[in-house]
Copies of this chain bind each other. A is one copy, B any other.
Amino acid sequence: MLCEAASALGIATVVLAAAPDDAATEAAGDVVVGEATDPVALAALAARCDVVTFDHELVDLAALATLEARGVRVRPTTGALFAAVDKAAQRRSFSRAGLPVPAFVVLDGDADADLAALGDLAARLGEVPVVKAARGGYDGRGVLVATTMDDAIAAVARWRSDGVAVVAEAPVAFDAELAALLARREGGDAVAWRTVETDQVGGVCREVRVPGAVRDDTADAAAAIARRVAEHLGAVGVLAVELFDTAEGLFVNEVALRPHNSGHWTIEGATTSQFENHLRAVLDLPLGATTLVAPAICSVNVFGAEGGTAPGALAAALAEPTARVHLYGKAPRPGRKLGHVTVFGTDADDVAARAWRAAGALGTPVPAGLGARR
């Protein structure tokens, strides 16, 4: 989707892809084949680019830092990336900056110290803490919302034995999950999109509603937090902050320094998409307007079904004439995120029902009544 946005602006792209038939290669101007963690491949990529950026975070920060030291323009910078994606570093740094994060401890000592710290937090909270690997997780992986201390302890031991720090934190009883999205340039110029409501199951987003049930004052407060996070990190490009909306206010859940699944709706739903503004920001070009094109927008993720995608699935999805279908060209596997569908219009339930209809036609399991749950 970044490459599609680049193509429109006449900006040439070179993609570092693990295989020559990777999904991204279809839209890329050119391809360097190699792993995102391979210093040789990274150097080959950097040699052909004015700026290196990312659409995922499973990168080798040390290899990127080496490139940066050689003068390669990496945006967001390795420093900002580290402070955001390493959950231990992030929670410590946000907490010091006064950003609202759940009560937490970082487990990065020896086994006894980790166990003691986890126990102390559990006693303080009066419940089993959520445990998260500091690195390498996404879409619910690397996070355990444990129901027993034994499970939490086992997960901590497993990650710690892999040399990964762990964050243990208070489970948050939330009324809603929100996502605030902005794009920021080097000098500090930033534009925010409307804060959205996300529907997550097992840490995986399945639906985004704009504006959803997010009141304007809550939306503004979330956007203000995202701006503080962006300033704090010195983020350049798109920054997504996932938040919990609770009776005690907003808490930062996750942060991503790249175009984010919760912002895919911006492709059709806003004057400028997150992908285009990410490109503009990392190239230090003026940012585009983020105005909504309609009062109600819904985006639903497409997941692989058992047995693969049925023949005729695309035709069935496109039979919903308002559906904006995006398929990423990935091989279908059960549960794999294969694309998304966006619908915009005037009625929130109507656009959601249409988006779910198209996503369902593409094989996504549709929860009973979800299309019209409000």
A-side residues, CB < 8 A to B, are 1, 3-4, 7-10, 12-13, 25-27, 29, 191, 267-268, 271-272, 280, 285-289, 291, 293-294, 314-315, 318-319, 321-329, 339, 344
Contacts and interface: CB of A to CB of B under 8 A. Distances in A.
A271 B294 CA distance: 11
Contacts of A191: 321
A327 B287 contact: no
A286 B10 contact: no
A318 B280 contact: yes
A7 B4 contact: yes
Contacts of A12: 26, 329
Contacts of A271: 268, 321-322, 324, 344
A328 B280 CA distance: 17
Nearest to A287: B321
13 contacts: A1-B8, A4-B7, A8-B325, A25-B29, A27-B29, A271-B322, A271-B344, A286-B318, A286-B319, A286-B321, A287-B318, A287-B321, A288-B322
A8 B323 CA distance: 12
Contact of A27 (B27, B318, B328, B344): B27
A285 B318 CA distance: 7
B26 A7 contact: yes
Contact of A288 (B10, B26, B314, B318): B318
A219 B323 CA distance: 26
Contacts of A8: 1, 4, 267, 325-327
Chain B CB within 10 Å, residue with most, of A287, A293, A339: A293
B7 A314 contact: no
B9 A326 contact: yes
A328 B324 CA distance: 23
Nearest to A29: B26
Contact of A7 (B27, B319, B344): B27
Nearest to A5: B4
A162 B285 CA distance: 49
Given A10-B326, A285-B314, 5 more contacts: A1-B8, A4-B7, A8-B327, A9-B326, A285-B315
Task: Report the 10 A-B pairs with minimum CB-CB distance, sorted nearest first.
Answer: A10-B327, A289-B321, A7-B27, A286-B318, A26-B29, A286-B319, A293-B293, A10-B329, A289-B322, A4-B4
Contacts of A319: 286
Contacts of A13: 26
A100 to B, nearest CB: 30
